[in-house]
Amino acid sequence: MCGIAGWINYENVQASELTQLKEMTDSLYRRGMDGEGFYMNKDIAFGHRRLAIIDVENGAQPMTVEYQEAKFTIIYNGELYHMQEVRNYLIEQGHAFQTTCDTEVVVHAYAHWGADCLDHLNGIFAFAIWDEEKREVFLARDRLGVKPLFYAEKSNAFYFASEIKALLKVPTIRPIVDQEGLSEIFGLGPSRTPGHAVFKQIQELEAGHAMLIKPSSVEKWRYWQVKSEPHHDSLEETIEKVRELFINAVEGQLVSDVPVGTFLSGGLDSSAITAVAANYLQDREQTTLKTFSIDYQGNEEYFQTSTFQPNNDRDFKALISEKYETKHKDFFIDEQTLATYLQESVHVRDVPGMADIDSSLLWFCEQVKDEVSVGLSGECADEIFGGYPWFQAEESYSNFPWIRSLERRNALLRPEWRKKLQLDKYIQKRFQDTIADTPLLEGESEQDERRRQLFYVNMQWFMAQLLERKDRMSMGATLEVRVPFADHYLVEYLWNVPWEMKQLDGEEKGLLRKSMEGLLPDEIVHRKKSPYPKTFQPLYEKLVRVKAEKMLVDPEARIFEIVSKEAFRNLMDHESTFETPWYGQLMAGPQLLAHLWQIDYWMRAYHIEVEG
């Protein structure tokens, strides 16, 4: 993976602006420490940071290719999983290649098909291509939004970058957060409305979208969407198809010229990826698969079961590692490090995140990076198979089911902001907008239609949040992480599989479990879902409380411009009774205090200008 940044200004890019381009690109240093490159002419400025994965020696960017007397320059962040297939086809059509990297395949694909090249690309990506003859820049982002891309239009120029921090290096783009941005933070956070970047002057190119910047116009369109169609496969055919698509996705994502490993929690999703990857490498007599997991010092002593975390991961990880003969490493983070990384994870994400769920993941990715440069992870299985508890509950269909804390969110705000933001209405509108956008199937029952809408809401919101977290925290450690369950062929197929099949035998993700029989041990196949681990160590709560107490008495604290001090004190006094998570399944108790501390830190560190 890499980092890209640049701008288009048809009123002339000055060579003297190279300093600004370097500042934007340098801010993305963590996304690619293997090299940097720049390209400027009178219309555009392109900057690139490289993390070398394929053709390490020859894949430097920006990359310029010529085809039929036309010239194209690309900056690219991503990975193609069927690169050789597309490359071979283009060679047959007369294209000549100088490298074996996928960057060159993408730019040749655009030279050949134009914007329709996106229909031929299977992978995760965000890129910009300059067509010198037409004086146009083409921007695109992958179907599920695994790789990020933000943009801003300011002072006759169009700016873009992999991360918000790069855009904030532009002097005319200020860190303004208006009422809408505050509603995102305090009402929907840490998730975001697709296309909304929290900052007033910055937008996000949505997943599955592309843009074309011309001298006279800027066009944006959606090039991919799930399609609702009748599912005709039998149960047996469906099980076999899911197994085939999943194995193809994992094996396709093992392509790399650098070491690859998997994240292994011992749960169904990560174990399935590990099993396929280990078998693939062993069959080809390649290197032994490395697997990695994270836990917290002291969790064995303090672990508590709950609806969301019914058991510990330790024995299940060992079972998979032994069966598939992986080289496994457990990394244990201490509570002081966990609390310290709360600050760094904000800088990596550019907005307040998921507290210690972010900070532990950032630290974990740094440890993994010492072992491999590419990791495969199990995100997105629950969103496409319906693995969360809220898929079972009828009340989940009326609003975002991972935000059950709206009353508490409102209660924390100062009265004037509660009146201005009207979080209830804001959240409900965002929910209804997504529901209205759902591709429906004519003739479905009302219940099936509502469940399809819930799957769509999960894909657009909760899955997007998890993918954002994984991208920022992994790239913050200069580690490329791939997510096989976000393979668009698998997503498209499962979109139309009936709920009765997904919930086979009354088990959550029953279809996935059935498709993994024979590949995984029965103990794993039927293990109840357990999410990303959190700490139960009392010391962490003490450390977070110290941070919160200091913030409460600090006259420079920014959060109390929006949040009531009295409400915050009350939260601290009764925090142990706050059992309903602020977001998702785990953000309660000390995780909530840490999240609020992150908001205050973000407002200070990013010099947020509140506009109300």
Neighbours of 251 (CB within 10 A): 17
512 vs 269, 376, 481, 501, 507, CA distance in Å? 9, 18, 22, 10, 10
Q: Are the C-beta atoms of 477 and 365 separated by less than 8 Å?
A: yes
Counting Cβ atoms within 10 Å, is residue 15 exposed (0-12), middle (13-18) or buried (19+)? Answer: exposed
Separation CA 313–CA 532 (nearest Å):
10
500 vs 243, 459, 492, CA distance in Å? 18, 19, 17
110 vs 131, 149, 309, CA distance in Å? 10, 19, 46
- Among 2, 101, 117, 365, which one carries the catalytic annotation? 2
* Angle, vertex CA 2, rays to CA 245 and CA 80, nearest 5: 25
Structure tokens at 353: 């995140």
Separation CA 350–CA 357 (nearest Å):
16
Separation CA 32–CA 34 (nearest Å):
6
Q: Which residues are paired to 413 by β-bridges? A: 563
388 vs 354, 503, 509, CA distance in Å? 18, 11, 9
Residue 210: strand, helix, or coil: strand
Structure tokens at 452: 């399809």
117 is an active site residue:
no
Q: Give the single-character DSSP code of 287.
A: P
Active-site residue list: 2
